[in-house]
Each structure stands twice: as structure tokens, then as C-alpha cells.
């Protein structure tokens, strides 16, 4: 029995997230359908994470088991021939028998794309959040540094109970502007439900004066979802990188 590690990318617009659901179109469901076709037998994939409806992935890692001797290169080609245009297999390799895409993951990087312009861009309507207000990227970048380090992120979780362990380590956070596009990046050892979207929404509220620029430490200390800002729309969010080496995530120069 082989264990294969596969890296995929997908545009999440028409999917109800990654995880398989009854009576809903999901990325996992589409991958399993085509893998079962190529490998000539029912195939289950195990993802590194869950993504919500409308969320995208530039890099998403999964693993699967098969007894087929198909070459990884040929499996990639076959899958990309059958998959819809909004899902692509980027790479495939043999992995150790005990490799697990989720449990072996050391951390992830998410990005959130914001289109800052008075007029909407018809080519980015489901790929970036349209924001009409002036946005001070330098100020928000400075504000974002407050989440770097190990903190209790209760205030940034949509469904956390008081007893939930919400401690996470953030290795890097940034807000960068390139013309009309602003990209929020955050890299950490793990993320809670809607954590990144609430973080981005809170930054937007800081930009609009709802919170003061130095509000993030106070919001973290409150350990209360109601103390933080809005939840940003799903379609601006991307799982950007997945890390399986702790040193790599700590020293990654992307942020």
C-alpha cells in the first residue's frame, strides 16, 4: 500500500468548502470522484485543513492510500485531465506510510486579498474583497504586529467556548499594498474557525476608526468574540502555503 502526498490548488467560488458534505458540491468530493476513476477503485483523501464556502487555496496538501503502481507524474496528468478547471493538481509524491496531511502539518500561511477602488473589478469579483474606502496599509501593517507571538485568540474565534484551547503562535503578519490591491498575510502554527477573517475584519474596522490603531492587544486580552470586529467576506481568503517543517515556518521569508 502506497501513501501519496498530493498538492492541489482550487478556486472555491462554487464549492461548499473543502470537506465532503451530503447534498453539496465540495472540493474533496470532486477530488475523490476523479481519483476513484483514475485509480479504478473507491479512494478517500485526507486534507491538511478545512476551508469554508467560497474560500480559495493556492496550496492545499492532502494524502491518500492506493495499491496502484501508477507513476506520480502520470497521476497528476490524468487528474488534471478529468478535474474541472477550478481545481488543479500541482504535485504528487510518494510519502512515508505514516504521513498524515493534517496531523503532520506544522503551520499554514493565509492571505486575504482586498481590491481598493471606487469601481468593482469584474475580473476579481469572487477573488478579492471590493473595498471602496481609502485604506492606510502602513498603519494597518503596524497594528497587525500585535498578534505576532503566542496569544489566546478567543476573541478571534467564531465558535469558541470558554474552555476551548485558543492559544496559537503567529510567526508573521503583514499588510502590503500594490496599486489597488492590498494583501494581508498571516503565518502561524494553527488557526481557529474564522480566525483570519475576523482578524482582517478587525483591521478594516481599525481603518474606519471603529477601533483605535493600538486596539489589538486590548481585544486579545478580552477573550471575547464581541470585542473584536466584523468577519471579512470569505471570497478574499486563500490558504497560501502549508508547512511540514517547523524551522521552515519560523524562518520563512514571505513575511
**Residues annotated as part of the active site:** 52
List Cβ<8 Å contacts ≥24 apart for 88-91: 88/8, 88/9, 88/10, 89/6, 89/7, 89/8, 90/7, 90/8, 90/9, 90/59, 91/6, 91/7
Specify whether the backbone of 102 is left (phi greater than 0), alpha (psi in -120 to 50) or beta: alpha
> Which sign, positive or negative, has the C-alpha torsion 51, 1, 105, 252?
negative
- C-alpha span between 184 and 236 (Å, rounded): 10
How does DSSP assign 49-77, residue by residue? ----TT-EEEEEEEEEEE-----HHHHHH
Q: What gap in Å lies between CA 184 and CA 111, rounded to an integer?
A: 5
R_g of the chain, CA atoms, integer Å = 19
Amino acid at each position: 500500500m502506497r501513501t501519496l502526498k498530493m498538492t492541489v490548488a482550487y478556486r472555491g467560488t462554487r464549492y461548499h468548502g473543502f470537506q465532503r458534505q451530503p447534498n453539496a458540491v465540495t472540493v474533496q468530493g470532486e477530488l475523490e470522484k476523479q481519483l476513484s476513476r483514475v485509480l479504478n477503485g473507491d479512494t478517500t483523501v485526507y486534507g491538511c485543513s478545512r476551508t469554508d464556502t467560497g474560500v480559495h487555496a493556492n496550496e492545499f496538501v492532502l494524502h491518500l492510500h492506493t495499491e496502484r503502481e501508477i507513476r506520480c507524474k502520470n497521476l497528476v496528468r490524468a487528474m488534471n485531465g478529468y478535474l474541472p478547471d477550478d481545481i488543479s493538481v500541482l504535485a504528487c509524491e510518494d510519502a512515508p506510510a505514516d504521513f498524515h496531511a493534517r496531523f503532520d502539518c506544522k503551520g499554514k500561511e493565509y492571505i486575504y486579498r482586498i481590491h481598493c477602488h471606487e469601481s468593482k473589478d469584474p475580473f476579481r469579483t469572487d477573488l478579492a474583497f471590493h473595498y471602496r474606502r481609502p485604506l492606510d496599509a502602513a498603519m494597518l501593517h503596524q497594528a497587525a504586529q500585535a498578534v505576532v507571538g503566542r496569544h489566546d485568540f478567543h476573541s478571534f474565534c467564531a465558535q469558541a467556548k470558554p474552555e476551548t484551547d485558543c492559544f496559537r503562535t503567529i510567526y508573521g503578519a503583514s499588510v502590503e499594498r500594490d496599486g489597488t490591491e492590498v494583501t494581508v498575510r498571516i503565518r502561524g502554527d494553527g488557526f481557529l474557525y474564522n480566525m483570519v477573517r475576523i482578524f482582517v475584519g478587525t483591521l478594516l474596522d481599525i481603518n474606519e476608526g471603529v477601533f483605535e490603531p493600538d486596539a489589538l492587544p486590548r481585544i486579545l486580552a478580552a477573550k471575547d468574540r464581541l470585542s473584536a470586529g466584523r468577519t471579512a467576506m470569505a471570497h478574499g481568503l486563500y490558504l497560501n502555503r502549508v508547512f511540514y517543517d517547523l524551522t521552515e515556518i519560523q524562518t520563512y521569508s514571505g513575511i
